[in-house]
Amino acid sequence: MIIYRKEKIMSYVMSLNLTSIPKVPYLADNLADKKKQKQKEEQQQEQEEEQEQEEEQEQEQEQEQEEEQEQEQEQEQEEYPNPEEENPNPEEEKKKKKKKEKPEEDEIWVELYYRLFFGRYLFLGRALEKQPADQIMKSMIYLNQEDQTKDFMFFISCRGGGMLQGVAVYDVMQFVTGDVFTSGYGLNASMGAFLLHGGELGKRVLSINGRMMIHQPHMSPYDRRRHVESGSDAEFISRLRTYILNTYIERTRQDPELIESLLERDIFLNSEESKAVYLIDEIGVEGMGLDLKNLSLFYANHDNHLMGYSNHENGL
């Protein structure tokens, strides 16, 4: 019976049309396709990454080549400068050089002024206004307090200036205890001539090509001060003119009428004429050097000046 049933089942199964049954896709095929797709995607990514790396390497190589070319060009320009392309921006190069040279130059100039100041060498090379007048007076008073036995050397090239400033500097020159050697060069006019003649008698020098111009004091026609009245101005000018006239007469020991005539108008005197009326005592550097041996001009006593210089630096 059992065998019969099995045969019956088998015959029934064989009689079925299996072709009409839809086929179910095999899972293994799907997995294989997915693997292939992943592999393709990975290969594409790898290729893209390789391309990016190659591009980066090419860019780096190009940059290196450009830098090498620039360095070679700079070396060639240094070795064989092209006159046409040399100094493309001369102003910038000058500024750079000035910046490099400025600190050294500043140090040199500071040391030079320092030595000249403590060597008692004073200079006036411009119009006598308030600022230079104050500097000269302060320097004279300070140095006189430091040592009242040493003399001063005052170099003057002044075309004029304020009357009040000129008289103030002259008064300080007479106040200090050391002798004031005055040496004029170029043109010394008006207050410049007054200061030049105001040095120590016998120690006033004018260069061979130097000139002096003296005249009576006057107010500037461009003075616009509203608080000054014409009457007080006239009285002040009269007193100042009398003071300057008496000073010239006293120091030159000339006839008052001669000095008055010289002050009436602008009179230009060369070195010989200036010496003839005793506005100066010597002409040229030779005459000045004979009287300045004790002053150690140009640091003849070098050790003494260096000692003084170091003492001032150390605050002694």
Give burial (CB, 10 Å; 0-12/13-18/19+) of 166: buried
Rounded distance between C-alpha atoms, residue 280 and residue 203, angstroms: 8
d(CA 90, CA 109): 26
113 residue type, one letter? Y
Helices (H), ranges, 80-162: 90-118, 130-146
CB crowding 226-253: b at 16 or more within 10 Å, else e? eeeeeeeeeeeeeebeeebbebbbeebe
Please give the DSSP secondary-structure letter assigned to residue 128.
B
Integer CA distances (angstroms), 284 to 39, 134, 227, 280, in order: 106, 29, 46, 11
Identity of residue 250: E
Residue positions annotated with a catalytic role: 190, 215
Q: How far, in Å, CA of 244 to CA of 240, rounded?
A: 6
Q: Are 229 and 204 in contact (CB under 8 A)?
A: no
| Cβ neighbours, 10 Å, residue 304 | 11
CA distances from 194 to 76, 96, 157, 204, 280 (A): 64, 45, 12, 12, 11
Measuring CA to CA, which residue among 158, 173, 153 is closest to residue 293?
Answer: 153
Contact 178, 144 (CB under 8 A): yes
